[in-house]
């Protein structure tokens, strides 16, 4: 039992935060490679558009040509300009959800202590159950029994032993499920940290590839993926907050039953608690899906598809008109030849 409680999950989460900070300088190692890729892409990007404008005898639009230079600036100062900006904007969300979870957790601990105290006082107030929870009361009742009541004493020993085994099993399963719940949270946080580190280190390369024609959507997709992964932690905290609130309401109901109902039976409440812990363990692995619902990247991909569809429709219309005109002209020429 002590081994289940010996793990400090908060310390492990703190280690993951420090791991992310320690790995961030590696972004600078990829910036040099990314600058070379972006520079070559910018050369083709600018040259192609200038050549197209000159070939069509059109004025050169300078504003779109600034795109690769802005991306190159972001690559040069990627940790501070890109990651620093995104993390600074998103960190208040993480802090807000974390404070919500801390508040509900403190309330849950307070109500759990109150419930345990009332449950102990209720059993102590009844002589038929007081010996189950208090050693002194058990010894006193055993001393009051005479030699002829050996069967009653043996029954008391058996009932007390069964009660302790029952409580030990309940506590074991509760702590086991709580450990699995915390392990699921740690698993999500570990995967999140791994994804963020990979996205951050290879982010300059993704920005560099977005300079090339055909890869423009890489930029928006990278930003979308990074923010989605960053939101895993706030979503997990909100999920834990909801579960903690449910447990607080259950504890409040148990406390009300213990204070107002002398015949209250809390076995069903303990079963519901175990069920909600199992739901929480399963629900933790839906967090990436929920985070994906919050932000989605459309951007250039949808824009390009719309342009292509419009161009295809215009081309089809022009071909239809051209075919009709050609057919009409051919018909008139045929009549003249006759």
- Residues above pLDDT 90, as percent of the chain: 12
Residues 198 and 314 in one domain: no
Asked whether residue 338 is domain-assigned, the answer is: no
Residues 90 and 36 in one domain: yes
Asked whether residue 123 is domain-assigned, the answer is: yes
Looking at residues 32-51, what average pLDDT do you find? 88
Residue 156 and residue 129 in contact, taking contact as beta carbons nearer than 8 Å: no
Angle, helices 217-230 vs 232-260, to 10°: value is 20
Asked whether residue 335 is domain-assigned, the answer is: no
- Residues above pLDDT 70, as percent of the chain: 81
Residues 242 and 306 in one domain: no
Residues 293 and 316 in one domain: no
Residues 113 and 14 in one domain: yes
Q: What is the mean pLDDT of the chain?
A: 78
Domain count, the chain: 2
Residues 219 and 317 in one domain: no
Range of the domain at 313: 298-330
What is the Cβ-side half-sphere exposure of residue 20, based on CA atoms within 13 angstroms? 21
Lowest mean pLDDT segment, chosen from 15-24, 57-66, 179-188, 257-266: 257-266
Asked whether residue 223 is domain-assigned, the answer is: yes
The model's pLDDT over 267-305, given as tens digits with 9 standing for 90+, comes to: 667 777 788 888 888 888 888 888 888 887 654 444 344
For the cut 60, the answer to whether the pLDDT of residue 309 exceeds it is no
Residues 91 and 159 in one domain: yes
């Amino acid at each position: 039992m002590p081994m289940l409680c010996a793990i400090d999950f908060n310390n492990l989460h703190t280690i993951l935060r420090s791991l992310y900070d320690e790995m961030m300088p590696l972004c600078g190692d990829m910036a040099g490679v990314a600058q070379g890729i972006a520079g070559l892409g910018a050369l083709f990007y600018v040259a192609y558009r200038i050549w197209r404008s000159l070939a069509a005898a059109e004025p050169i639009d300078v504003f779109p040509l600034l795109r690769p230079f802005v991306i190159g600036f972001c690559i040069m100062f990627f940790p501070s300009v890109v990651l620093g900006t995104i993390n600074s904007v998103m960190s208040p969300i993480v802090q807000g959800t974390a404070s919500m979870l801390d508040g509900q957790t403190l309330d849950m601990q307070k109500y759990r202590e109150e419930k345990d105290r009332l449950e102990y006082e209720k059993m102590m107030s009844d002589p038929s159950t007081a010996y189950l929870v208090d050693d002194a009361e058990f010894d006193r009742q055993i001393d009051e029994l005479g030699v002829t009541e050996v069967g009653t004493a043996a029954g008391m020993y058996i009932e007390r032993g069964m009660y302790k085994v029952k409580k030990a099993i309940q506590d074991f399963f509760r702590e086991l499920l709580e450990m699995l719940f915390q392990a699921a949270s740690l698993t999500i946080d570990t995967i999140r940290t791994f994804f963020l580190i990979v996205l951050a280190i290879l982010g300059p390369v993704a920005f560099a590839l977005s300079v090339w024609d055909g890869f423009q959507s890489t930029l928006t997709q990278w930003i979308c993926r990074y923010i989605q992964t960053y939101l895993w932690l706030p979503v997990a905290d909100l999920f834990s907050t909801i579960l903690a609130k449910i447990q607080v309401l259950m504890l409040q109901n148990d406390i009300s039953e213990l204070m107002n109902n002398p015949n209250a039976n809390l076995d069903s409440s303990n079963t519901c608690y175990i069920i909600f812990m199992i739901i929480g363990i399963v629900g933790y692995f839906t967090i990436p899906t929920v985070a994906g619902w919050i932000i989605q990247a459309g951007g250039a991909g949808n824009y390009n598809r719309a342009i292509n569809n419009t161009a295809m429709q215009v081309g089809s219309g022009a071909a239809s008109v051209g075919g009709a005109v050609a057919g009409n002209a051919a018909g008139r020429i045929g009549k003249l030849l006759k």
